[in-house]
Structure 1
Amino acid sequence: MNRSPATLLAALLCLPSVPALAQAKLPVEDFARHAEINSAALSPTGEYVALAVPNEDGMETRLHIVKLDGSGSTQVLRFGKQQHVTSLTWSDNDQIVVSRAKMEPLEARPYSYGELMSSDVAGKTQETLFAYVPDAGQQRGRRKDRGFATVVKVLDDEPGQVLVDFTAWPQRRGDEDRPTAIYKVDTRSGHRELIEQTSETATFMFDHSGRARLKTTTDDNDDPVLMYRPGAGNDWQPVPKTLAGYNMSLLYVEADNNTAYAAIVDKGEPAQLYKVDLAKGTRMRLAGREDMGIGRVLYAGHDGPPFGVIFDEGKPSVQYLDPDSEWAKLHAGLLKAFPGQMVSILDWTRDNKKLLFLVWSDRNPGGYYLLDRSNNKVQLVNEVMPWIKAGSLSPSIPISFTTSDGLTLHGLYTGAIGKGPQPLVVLPHGGPHGPYDSWGYDSDVQFLANRGYGVLQINYRGSGGRGKAFLESGYLQWGGKMQDDLADGVRWAIAQKLADPSRICTFGASYGGYAALMQPIRYPDLYKCAIGYVGVYDLQVMKKKGDIDDGASGRRYLDRALGTDIAQLKAWSPAQNAAKIKVPVLLAAGKDDLRVPMDQFNALVNAFKAAGTPAETLVFDGEGHGFYKPEHRAELYRRIEAFLAKHIGPDAR
């Protein structure tokens, strides 16, 4: 970090106005650097804030405990060399639990591998709660937990006690039998008590007292199987259709351990927010939309029910359950204090007098703030990326258009508005089924816009954010209607005078890399170049190589998403149709990618060689499904900048 978080506590000043258009060309390193803060959590009394702080190269993340008394006192805790801390959870006023994370080739970031550690704020009494600790010579490791542990509930009435979900590792590669257990854990001593157990993988959800009331497993078709306890003392029984037709998630249960708030899906619609009577098996709809899913739920204080929801797949909007409620007015006031930005409330003190919130936008990666409700004083804790200045970036404008077959799609356009047609980069998101592009800061998008390109992001059919039916409408359409949606979006941008039709390129990662190479095959007249980054290029290879194929559920998913028609898989594989790609291509990959292994990259490169088509390449050792090291990310940006300048830049014709 450039500065200690403790020194950054300052009263909120008036925010500067943000220019409408980006101006200065920023160094690539500004977009490639890791955030100064990965996450934050406020202690129950408001005496401390815990921060996950990565070192400069991002290869280790330490826990900073900042005392909020103005003393500047910061305790730095380390949980192992080149280890990372994530999922910060206060279990008591001076006790915190973290998930220990590590770098894996699968992800371009650290991710938890199911180990839970706890510590007091001084770091004097650290405890390994869950981990697999191998024996070292004559010394036997204390923990032999062969599984993945996650804190799922803090028991406020029992300080220091939490509920932990522990799901076993597969016994063999591809094994689907992974039992789940729920333990009550003392985070100071490490003592644990088994309170729930099932022979299959399950998700448990709890009432106010910590009793499991909803259990979700999956059937042979990977659809949810819902069981619940109508009363705390009842046995498990199927959830009646009066509550949920397809899926249900308990979000909050009141102190009566019966009145609940749940996100419910009956068929294929986006989840709706309901108030539920568990004993009677009845419900009342509170919020939701038929065309868009709930992106976030807003809660009334430390231990309160939902007071609103946020929709973010299209134009961001907030729906308060009661606009005149205390918490709705508070949230609306914070939005007013930070015009043009969104506010996410993250933590509250137990008495609700102080809260920690995040302010973010399309041009602001985020800033953590504290609000003292006794005097309405707001203090900045730390900006996520303080070197990023909103005035140097471009606005992201939510857009909507109608496809050639009459479907309304949403997306984002980032770049100069009102300057006439600009060179355009089409940036399809990865996934593809589930993820979606939403309004907020994106380093790839802002880098491209800062170099003078318009950036078009489209939530094509199959994307998340609009419910089960919309997601499944992309099944068997990877190279079909999902590609048509992207092309329709490009035509819309041309018609709106946002895009210069003679200067358009595609760029994407993972599925986005697949789409980036399929677009010039399906629509050769639209594009001048294509960039594939850790992309899928051969659908037959995808069904044989990579971690999705490891288990039966993954193979079932691939059959649903891709189909089993070999001729169709070949027709919709860029590597099988490389001779049809007539535009310049840049391909980037990580040698240790487990999700999309090098077999994909090699298949396309070899196909280009066989066709006599040149392609630029960039491959790094030690990188996985996306580049993580800042120097590698910076080099990728340099290569992309040079490639785009050559083919769709100001002098390219």
Structure 2
Amino acid sequence: MPHIRCFGVALSLLLSAPVAAASPPAAELFAKHSEISDIALSPDGTRVAMAVPVAEGTETQLQIIPLDEGGGALALRFGKQQHVTDVYWTTNERLVVSRAEMEPLHAEPYSRGELIATNADGSDQELLFGYIGDFFMKSGRRKDNGFSALTGLILDDPGMALVTFRCWNCGEEPDTVLFRVDTRTGVRKEVERFRGDTIFGADRSGTARIAVSRDANDNPLMRYRPTADAAWQPLPRTMAGYSLSPLRFSDQPDVMFALVSDKGEPERLYRLDLAAGTRTLLAGRADMEIARVLYEGSRGAPFGVFFDAGKPAIEYIDKASPWAALHAGLMQSFPGELVMPFDFSDDDSKLIFFTYSGSHPGAYYLLDRTAGKIRLIAELKPWIEPAKMAPVRPIEFNSRDGRTLYGFLTAAGDGPRPMVVMPHGGPHGPYDRWRFNPEAQFLASRGYAVLQVNYRGSGGRGQQFIEAGYREWGGRIQDDIADGVRWAVDQQLADPSRVCIYGASFGGYAALMNSIRYPDAYQCAIGHVGVYDLQMMFKEGDIAARRAGRTYLERVLGTDEAALVENSPARQVDRIKVPVLLAQGRIDRRVPMEQFDALATAFRKSGRPAETLVVPGEGHGFYKPENQAKLLETMADFLDRHIGGRSAGPTAATAP
């Protein structure tokens, strides 16, 4: 189906916008956390709930804000130095949140598996799922030693929700249990149980109709109920293909929408009739997965889909839909930005939408469809001035073996300039997108071009593309990154004599491994919380602590000891010819200090010690803004000494 024309115009406007001449912004501005991390609109559209970190970042509170401008905000706390995320209104007065921890590399909270319900005025707080220990003679009410997640609201029964739960101490492959929960009283009822990690899809009555799990070889296992009262049975391949991701049910009880892939290619959007055993293609592309489905309000059918693993694009399913027209109008109202509907009131008269771009961190707005008015609710980072940020240009090139690869170039102007290559973490599943990246923008403000490549193994391109990176950590993944450098040089976007490579997690591994594989391409390398010894991954860190994690490592790395040594930077220090900076959090559990020590010790023994930055109290990435700013400043100093950046000037970027 054709993509909307107004998007291409809007994107061109942004990519051709000039960057104002000014002193580069301070590192602290790029290190600060967003002012909100989650938002939800009450069913009646009168209030919003926002997860808001306090200034020092040690706690995330839930703020309830009336939209009639007649009352003040109410801040709810769920414990000293506690964080919350995944905010849901289950009625006009009742909310459910997840108690959370902070994810440093993304600077945002993520659920730790505990659910808390509260009234909007802060009263009647109830631990729905979690663990409360015994105290003297009093027995704790909840003994949920595991991970829970609210997976859906039961639309036909306000206040009721579906929650999945997996036990942490029930063996290597615990069951996934689906509960029907009254969020007002805390009363729960088990309704389904399947072995292993399972995703359920439920109809509007709350009846589970789809169950997707994995077999021992990590292949999808899919079961379904053709009708609400039918027994579970295998879902035919004619409907499910190789894999299926359930989305939502329509107003017809046996009709659902789902993302389906037949052979591991990018998933496409289908309408499935479970009773008839048929499916109808609605939208999709052969080269890119659907990143988001756009719906006609709180209960309606999809009206469009969004792709973002390369140049962003929107495909409308029915361009005559009034919701498609509404969305196209919002896109025109925010030129150069993407607009994503986010949440709706029950009657769809009000909706929250999110706008963002490569130079704008994003903002939430409220649209009153009845009054025809738009109101700003909150900017994520109001101190960032998009006009002073660098454009982010989507790029496309071919790898040496003919594979089409996508990526992004952030630079304040055209012409050859010193470049920092920034491979993303993962590597399998995550991917870079057209959005504000504080590290890339910081480096661009210092005069550098920043190259991001969605190498094979990245997400957003389907399971086949992910698996193409298996056992290629030190091989074809590194070739893809190097081919991106070659493309940037050939396009005269990078000065080949001034290129450095920097990454975090797997990106830290790639920074060192690419400088080993391509010693003439780089003048320096920076690794942050990186993996440097592949054999050590099987022994140290939280991945190796679980059988599923060890099986995953065997699948993606292999067990050939010679290959693991050959592709481990800590075992190949004599082949690293460029200056190196290593940064590490001392309490990192994902990539522990042993990885850092292995590489740093090898450098010292070689007589060429690496520069280092080790920060106590930080884990897999630096979370505290002052520590993140210190990292940025340390990187800028290192880069300036080796490839010589300068402050960005008032030049214009060329649209792709």
Is TM more than 0.5 here?
Answer: yes
**Percent identity at matched positions?**
54
Question: Is 1:408 the counterpart of 2:404 in the alignment?
Answer: yes
Distance 1:280 1:354 in 2: 35
Question: Is 1:536 the counterpart of 2:534 in the alignment?
Answer: no
TM-score in terms of structure 2 length: 0.94
CA 255–635 in structure 1, closer or farther in 2 if over 3 Å, else same? same
Question: Displacement of 1:153 after TM fit?
Answer: 1.3
Asked whether the equivalents of residues 105 and 622 of structure 2 are also in contact (C-alpha less than 8 Å), the reply is no
Distance 2:459 2:349 in 1: 36
Moved more, 296-305 or 539-548: 539-548
Distance 1:423 1:156 in 2: 54
Residue 237 of structure 2 aligns to a residue whose secondary structure is coil
Distance 1:481 1:195 in 2: 46
Distance 2:645 2:532 in 1: 30
Asked whether the equivalents of residues 639 and 645 of structure 2 are also in contact (C-alpha less than 8 Å), the reply is no
Q: 568, 577, 584: which one pairs with 1:573?
A: 568
Question: Displacement of 1:109 after TM fit?
Answer: 4.4
Q: Which amino acid aligns with 1:169?
A: W
Moved more, 353-362 or 65-74: 65-74
Question: Displacement of 1:65 after TM fit?
Answer: 0.2
Asked whether the equivalents of residues 104 and 624 of structure 1 are also in contact (C-alpha less than 8 Å), the reply is no
Equivalent in the alignment of 1:7? none
Question: Is 1:649 the counterpart of 2:644 in the alignment?
Answer: yes
Q: Which amino acid aligns with 1:390?
A: P
Question: Is 1:224 the counterpart of 2:223 in the alignment?
Answer: no
Residue 627 of structure 1 aligns to a residue whose secondary structure is coil
CA 123–193 in structure 1, closer or farther in 2 if over 3 Å, else same? same
Equivalent in the alignment of 2:443? 448
Q: What does 1:285-434 align with in structure 2 at a 5 Å threshold? A: 285-418=281-414, 420-434=415-429
CA 309–400 in structure 1, closer or farther in 2 if over 3 Å, else same? same
CA 16–363 in structure 1, closer or farther in 2 if over 3 Å, else same? closer
Question: Is 1:247 the counterpart of 2:246 in the alignment?
Answer: no
Cα shift readout 1:135-191 (whole Å, capped 9, x = no counterpart): 2334332211112111111123222111111111133xxx42211211111111111
Equivalent in the alignment of 1:176? 172
Q: 275, 278, 301: which one pairs with 2:274?
A: 278
Distance 1:459 1:18 in 2: 23
Distance 1:123 1:158 in 2: 23
Equivalent in the alignment of 2:10? none
Q: Which amino acid aligns with 2:92?
A: N
Equivalent in the alignment of 1:206? 202
CA 573–16 in structure 1, closer or farther in 2 if over 3 Å, else same? closer
Q: What does 1:30-45 align with in structure 2 at a 5 Å threshold? A: 30-45=29-44
Equivalent in the alignment of 1:11? none
Question: Displacement of 1:18 after TM fit?
Answer: 8.7
Asked whether the equivalents of residues 259 and 269 of structure 2 are also in contact (C-alpha less than 8 Å), the reply is yes
Distance 2:532 2:124 in 1: 51
Equivalent in the alignment of 2:46? 47
Question: Displacement of 1:16 after TM fit?
Answer: 11
TM-score in terms of structure 1 length: 0.95
Distance 1:641 1:278 in 2: 57
Please, which runs of 5 or more residues in structure 1 have no aligned partner? 1-14
Question: Is 1:468 the counterpart of 2:495 in the alignment?
Answer: no
Asked whether the equivalents of residues 303 and 318 of structure 2 are also in contact (C-alpha less than 8 Å), the reply is yes
Cα shift readout 1:189-216 (whole Å, capped 9, x = no counterpart): 1111221123433221111221101111
Equivalent in the alignment of 2:92? 93
Asked whether the equivalents of residues 62 and 84 of structure 2 are also in contact (C-alpha less than 8 Å), the reply is yes
Distance 1:342 1:620 in 2: 37
Equivalent in the alignment of 1:124? 123
Residue 494 of structure 1 aligns to a residue whose secondary structure is helix
Asked whether the equivalents of residues 106 and 593 of structure 1 are also in contact (C-alpha less than 8 Å), the reply is no
Equivalent in the alignment of 1:256? 252
Q: Which amino acid aligns with 2:264?
A: G
Moved more, 182-191 or 131-140: 131-140
Cα shift readout 1:441-469 (whole Å, capped 9, x = no counterpart): 11111111111100000011111111111
Equivalent in the alignment of 1:27? 26
CA-atom RMSD in angstroms: 1.7
Q: Which amino acid aligns with 1:623?
A: E
Asked whether the equivalents of residues 106 and 592 of structure 1 are also in contact (C-alpha less than 8 Å), the reply is no
Question: Displacement of 1:103 after TM fit?
Answer: 4.3
Please, which runs of 5 or more residues in structure 2 have no aligned partner? 1-12, 647-656
CA 302–578 in structure 1, closer or farther in 2 if over 3 Å, else same? same
Residue 628 of structure 2 aligns to a residue whose secondary structure is helix
Q: How many residues align?
A: 633
Question: Displacement of 1:362 after TM fit?
Answer: 0.6
CA 94–608 in structure 1, closer or farther in 2 if over 3 Å, else same? same
Q: Which amino acid aligns with 1:86?
A: T
Q: Which amino acid aligns with 1:412?
A: F
Equivalent in the alignment of 1:620? 615
Cα shift readout 1:334-355 (whole Å, capped 9, x = no counterpart): 1110001011111111111000
Asked whether the equivalents of residues 507 and 516 of structure 1 are also in contact (C-alpha less than 8 Å), the reply is yes
Asked whether the equivalents of residues 21 and 415 of structure 1 are also in contact (C-alpha less than 8 Å), the reply is no
Q: 581, 584, 593: which one pairs with 2:579?
A: 584
Residue 309 of structure 1 aligns to a residue whose secondary structure is strand
Residue 554 of structure 2 aligns to a residue whose secondary structure is helix
Moved more, 108-117 or 242-251: 108-117
Cα shift readout 1:191-244 (whole Å, capped 9, x = no counterpart): 112211234332211112211011112111111111111111111110101102
Residue 506 of structure 1 aligns to a residue whose secondary structure is strand
Cα shift readout 1:551-584 (whole Å, capped 9, x = no counterpart): 2222222112111111111111110001111111
Distance 2:309 2:158 in 1: 38
Equivalent in the alignment of 1:564? 559
Q: Which amino acid aligns with 1:260?
A: M
Asked whether the equivalents of residues 537 and 601 of structure 1 are also in contact (C-alpha less than 8 Å), the reply is yes
Question: Displacement of 1:631 after TM fit?
Answer: 0.8
Asked whether the equivalents of residues 200 and 246 of structure 2 are also in contact (C-alpha less than 8 Å), the reply is no
Q: 586, 589, 596: which one pairs with 2:591?
A: 596
Q: Which amino acid aligns with 1:599?
A: E
Q: Which amino acid aligns with 2:179?
A: Y
Distance 1:108 1:576 in 2: 32
Question: Displacement of 1:17 after TM fit?
Answer: 12
Distance 1:504 1:567 in 2: 30
Question: Displacement of 1:251 after TM fit?
Answer: 1.0
Asked whether the equivalents of residues 255 and 272 of structure 2 are also in contact (C-alpha less than 8 Å), the reply is yes
Distance 2:615 2:464 in 1: 39
Equivalent in the alignment of 2:602? 607
Q: Which amino acid aligns with 1:289?
A: R
Distance 1:601 1:593 in 2: 10
Equivalent in the alignment of 1:10? none
Q: Which amino acid aligns with 1:85?
A: V
Q: Which amino acid aligns with 2:18?
A: A
Q: 176, 191, 194: which one pairs with 2:190?
A: 194
Cα shift readout 1:349-372 (whole Å, capped 9, x = no counterpart): 111100011111111111110000
Question: Displacement of 1:134 after TM fit?
Answer: 1.4
Question: Displacement of 1:21 after TM fit?
Answer: 2.5
Question: Displacement of 1:111 after TM fit?
Answer: 2.2
Equivalent in the alignment of 1:148? 147
Cα shift readout 1:451-504 (whole Å, capped 9, x = no counterpart): 110000001111111111111111111111111111111011011110011100
Question: Is 1:547 the counterpart of 2:542 in the alignment?
Answer: yes
Question: Is 1:61 the counterpart of 2:60 in the alignment?
Answer: yes
Residue 588 of structure 2 aligns to a residue whose secondary structure is coil
Question: Displacement of 1:104 after TM fit?
Answer: 7.5
Distance 1:200 1:491 in 2: 44
